[in-house]
Amino acid sequence: MASTTLSRQKAAITATGKYLPPDILDNKFFESYLDTNDEWILTRTGISERRILKDKTKATAYMCAEVSKSILQKKGMNPMDIDLIIVATVTPDMFFPATACLVQDMIGAKKAWGFDLSAACSGFTYAVTVGAQFIESGMHQKVLVIGGDKMSSIINYKDRNSCILFGDGAAGVLLEPAEEGYGILDARLYSDGAGQEHLYMKGGGSLNPSSHETIDNQMHYLYQDGKAVFKSAVTGMADTAFEMMQRNHLKAEDISYLVPHQANLRIISATAERMGIGLEKVGINIQKYGNTTAATIPLCLAELDEQGKLKRGDNLIFVSYGAGYTWGGVYVKWQ
Ligand code: UT7
């Protein structure tokens, strides 16, 4: 008797969207008041400029709502059709309510529920994997996954070690049930809380609630031990990307694009080298936007999509590393 194997429903990325605030901070801006220069920033990080959301009345939810609206418009979709909104961010508008609730209200997705996910620079890798589970289980048909961060709200612009690295932005995807053989086919996610001491924002939480003391001690700003994070990130990203290739029997020539977290061009290049692929197969936009934390991967993906570079059947690897530590990889066969 012939037997048929039914493969589990997968989730496909069926649209991408992005939002970048209009104001630009270029390297010359930092030269004007800090002991740094364009050449150092460019050669050590790959960054030339970043976007900043200057309007004090707007924050992460606004940027994520703009992303959602652009996706709805592209798909010609009614916001009432959205089932779930997941926002990956470490710079929510407020501790509560969740940024996802604010986005839901801003776009009029009255039938959707939503929540925020905190995994810093791995926010999108985590969130897209979580979102896919709701499609795979059959519970939902349309899930918005947005990564957005207003990093300028937690950056100390007097700290040359960190302020030159980060920018503001948001981007995201729509997930829907995939056609057989396409979509998000694999994911590996990791965390190691022992890395917490190298990248954090200590103030404002329940351990160190905001007070004059936390402000005086500058605990409301991001702190990063760049060298320590670099060491872990460079091996973590490369190892995870390589692991995704091995698990899915992908050779270098099978990879269409690596879509990596954009923290440092040297980390991205090392990851590509480990995978055996040239930089022409890597999504890179760090020079224009810096590190936008949860937004980097969807931002890169949205730009590849806009440029018409993604074709049906393309093998894409997303890979990230960030505070926590958190890291992970996702393998997508583009539908
Ligand atoms: O997205 C989350 C994950 N984050 C990352 O993956 C970031 C990982 N880290 C990095 O990308 C790099 O470590 C940085 C770009 C942050 C720093 O680059 P580095 O090559 O590791 O530099 P360093 O920290 O070892 O500093 C080298 C020198 C130091 O001076 P001394 O001690 O050698 O005299 C720094 O004080 O460069 C100095 N320096 C700067 N000089 C000019 C640090 N920042 C600057 C600056 N301009 N902006």
Instruction: Please report, as a single letter, which amino acid is at residue 76.
Output: G
CB atoms within 10 A of CB 215: 13
Residue 8 has what pLDDT? Answer: 85
**Is the C-beta atom of 226 inside 6 A of ligand 1?**
yes
- Report CA(227)–ligand 1 centroid distance (Å): 6
Q: Where are the alpha helices (DSSP H) in 248-295?
A: 265-275, 286-289
Question: Which of 64, 121, 163, 300 is the catalytic position?
Answer: 121
**Is the C-beta atom of 265 inside 6 A of ligand 1?**
no
Residue 2 has what pLDDT? Answer: 46
- Report CA(230)–ligand 1 centroid distance (Å): 9
Rounded CA separation 206/54 (Å):
28
Rounded CA separation 297/121 (Å):
9
- Report CA(317)–ligand 1 centroid distance (Å): 27
**Is the C-beta atom of 40 inside 6 A of ligand 1?**
yes
Tokens coding 214: 């936390």
E strands, 80-177, in order: 84-88, 113-117, 143-150, 168-177
> Cβ-count burial of 202 within 10 angstroms (0-12 exposed, 13-18 middle, 19+ buried)?
middle
Rounded CA separation 251/236 (Å):
19
Residue 4 has what pLDDT? Answer: 54
Tokens coding 52: 């900043």
Residue 3 has what pLDDT? Answer: 47
Residue 96 has what pLDDT? Answer: 97
E strands, 133-261, in order: 143-150, 168-177, 183-191, 199-200, 223-224, 257-260
Question: Which of 163, 291, 300, 315 is the catalytic position?
Answer: 291
Question: Which of 101, 163, 198, 261 is the catalytic position?
Answer: 261
**What global pTM score does this model have?**
0.96
* Interval 202-229: pLDDT, tens: 999 999 999 999 999 999 999 999 999 9
Q: Cis (ω within 30 of 0) for the bond into 331? A: no
> Cβ-count burial of 292 within 10 angstroms (0-12 exposed, 13-18 middle, 19+ buried)?
buried
Atom of ligand 1 nearest to the CA of 296: 1
Rounded CA separation 215/107 (Å):
35
pLDDT (tens place) for every residue of the chain, 335 residues total: 444 556 789 999 999 999 999 999 999 999 999 999 999 999 999 999 999 999 999 999 999 999 999 999 999 999 999 999 999 999 999 999 999 999 999 999 999 999 999 999 999 999 999 999 999 999 999 999 999 999 999 999 999 999 999 999 999 999 999 999 999 999 999 999 999 999 999 999 999 999 999 999 999 999 999 999 999 999 999 999 999 999 999 999 999 999 999 999 999 999 999 999 999 999 999 999 999 999 999 999 999 999 999 999 999 999 999 999 999 999 999 99
Closest CA to 283 of 179, 171, 131: 171
- Report CA(199)–ligand 1 centroid distance (Å): 13
Residue 1 has what pLDDT? Answer: 43
Long-range interactions of 70-78: CB distance < 8 A, separation 24+: 70/17, 70/18, 70/19, 71/15, 71/16, 71/17, 71/144, 71/172, 71/173, 71/174, 72/107, 74/15, 74/17, 75/14, 75/15, 75/174, 77/142, 77/174
Q: Which of 229, 230, 266, 292 to mutate to test the pocket of ligand 1 (most atoms within 8 A of CB)?
A: 230
For residue 62, give the 3-state DSSP assignment.
helix
Q: What share of the chain is helix, strand, coil (3-state, %, to 5)?
A: 40, 25, 35
Q: Cis (ω within 30 of 0) for the bond into 21? A: no
User: Among this protein's residues, is 121 annotated catalytic?
Assistant: yes
Task: Using the structure block, give the residue that is written with the tokens 């924002």.
Answer: 201
Closest CA to 315 of 188, 190, 186: 186
